[in-house]
Amino acid sequence: MANDEKVNVAIVSEGLQSHINPTLRFAKRLLSKGVNSVTIITTEVARDRMLKNNTPNPHSQIQFEFFSDGLSIDFDRNKDMKTFVDSLHSVGTKNLSTLITNLTKVQQNKYSCMIVDPLVYPAIDIAFDHGIPCALFWLQPCVLFSLCYRYFNNINSFPNLDDPNEKVILPGLPALDVSDVPSYMLPSAPSHLKQILVNMCKVLDKVKWVFAISFFELEEETVKSMDSLAPMYPIGPLVSEFMLGEEKEKINSQGNSILEWLDTRESSSVIYISFGTVILLSQEQVDNIALALKKSEKSFLWVVKGYENVLPQGFVEETKGRGLVVTWCEQEKVLLHPSVGCFVTHCGWNSMLETVVAGVPVIAYPKWLDQPASAKVIVKKFGNGVVVNYGEDRVASAEEMERCIKEVMEAPSAGEIKQRAIELKVAAKKALEENGSSGKNISQFVNELKNVP
């Protein structure tokens, strides 16, 4: 490509909010580095959500194009993942191929690169067929890409993953228990989830770049260990500009009852508990957390969907004055609030990156998928919090939850944990600076598209 030609990038993303958010953030980063335009190609589910929420286009150089995944808008994709994935990879892929064919015909300057979400891996073949250079946009920790790549390509020997007592020992990774391995690798995992990774690995030879929303300093050993296999380029942490201090918006409590309540609490005194929008806790898990919070006598903000039906009877009344239970909150603003002292989290990767950037200590209570590995390679490695101990049922006792709260909030270790959390916060923000590790990776990618030496 001549240096004076425009650089137009397409990003193919699944329409789930947890996929669209990092996609938008990456698009803005690319534009800030000299890309002329970004086209986000996603499913009609995302368009429906944007219309309902009256969501404005965040940037004049970002265009949206939509295709049907073959299911109705009202279909619950989280509840019936198999039907969703089957339809996306059959009907949806055909619709996506037709859309990209039409877009490349009308576009004056051919797409310089197509960046593909792993869940929409068939787009890699579509890009290849159109002669468009392709990149993979990995939305989980680098350690999980390394695990999946090595396992599904039979590069390293793995122990019997049916045996929870076995250890997984791989280059660039800490020793992992089988229970730390992502659940979609285990023999008990649904076949449709495994097949996504198997099929994705089969087409990775057509991918020139693997981008990760992590940052180098967080997963240095893992990134280095992949250099000779499938080099990874961390370009994160991909959190909002607001969290990074790049937006002028300030935390304004006025009119926000949750933030107003946090304003009444002392600095670093509040336990924030949230398990994301997908994870559903068992009644035993809820009861044990509730009992630990009661015994701790500390202030807390707990996000629980339908809490009237799941919290122990009398809990809200008994903790009134020091506890606030809500069905939803603006997590970024909560994590940045000075009164928040720790975050009890399921360790979903977006939440992990947000808490790292906020410098908030973690009580890691992972459940499945990438979450146990994230807890092991981040929290245990860097010491920015503690990991909850539980058995095969993944239910932590009330006593264990109480122990974790004390260790992070008041024990002699609390100060050291807070300091390590702040050190990670500093490293995360430096990574995105012009000369930071992620800033350089994005600049190098854009220059390659421009053929700039």
Give residue-wise pLDDT tens across range 315-366: 999 999 899 999 999 999 999 999 999 999 999 999 999 999 999 999 999 9
The kind and range of the H/E element at 364 are: strand 362-364
- How far is the C-alpha of 214 from the C-alpha of 387, rounded, in Å? 20
For residue 55, name the pLDDT band (cuts at 50, 70, 90).
Answer: confident
Residues 6+ apart with CB under 8 A from 113: 9, 10, 132, 133, 134, 135, 209, 449
For residue 201, name the pLDDT band (cuts at 50, 70, 90).
Answer: very high
Q: Give 219's DSSP letter.
A: S
73: tokens are 């808008």
327: tokens are 């069905």
Best CA proximity match to 288, nearest among 417, 185, 195, 404: 404
Q: Domain 8-236+432-450 belongs to what architecture?
A: 3-Layer(aba) Sandwich (3.40)
Percentage of the chain modeled with pLDDT above 70: 96
- How far is the C-alpha of 366 from the C-alpha of 389, rounded, in Å? 10
Residue 216, pLDDT score: 97
pLDDT above 80 (res 58) = no
Q: Return mean pLDDT, the chain.
A: 91
- What is 257-428's CATH number, 3.40.50.2000, 3.30.70.1230, 1.10.390.10, 3.40.50.20? 3.40.50.2000
Residue 51, pLDDT score: 87
Residue 179, pLDDT score: 85
Residue 16, pLDDT score: 85
pLDDT above 70 (res 254) = no
- How far is the C-alpha of 310 from the C-alpha of 323, rounded, in Å? 16
**Cα within 13 Å of Cα(68), Cβ side:** 7
Residue 228, pLDDT score: 94
pLDDT tens digits for range 159-195: 999 998 899 999 998 889 898 888 888 888 888 888 8
- Segment 145-152 shows an average pLDDT of 94
pLDDT above 70 (res 252) = no
Residue 192, pLDDT score: 84
Which range has the worst mean pLDDT, 29-33, 197-201, 278-282, 392-396? 278-282
Structural domain boundaries of the chain? 8-236+432-450, 257-428
pLDDT tens digits for range 67-124: 999 999 999 988 888 899 999 999 999 999 999 999 988 766 689 999 999 999 999 9
pLDDT tens digits for range 76-85: 988 888 899 9
- How far is the C-alpha of 166 from the C-alpha of 269, rounded, in Å? 39
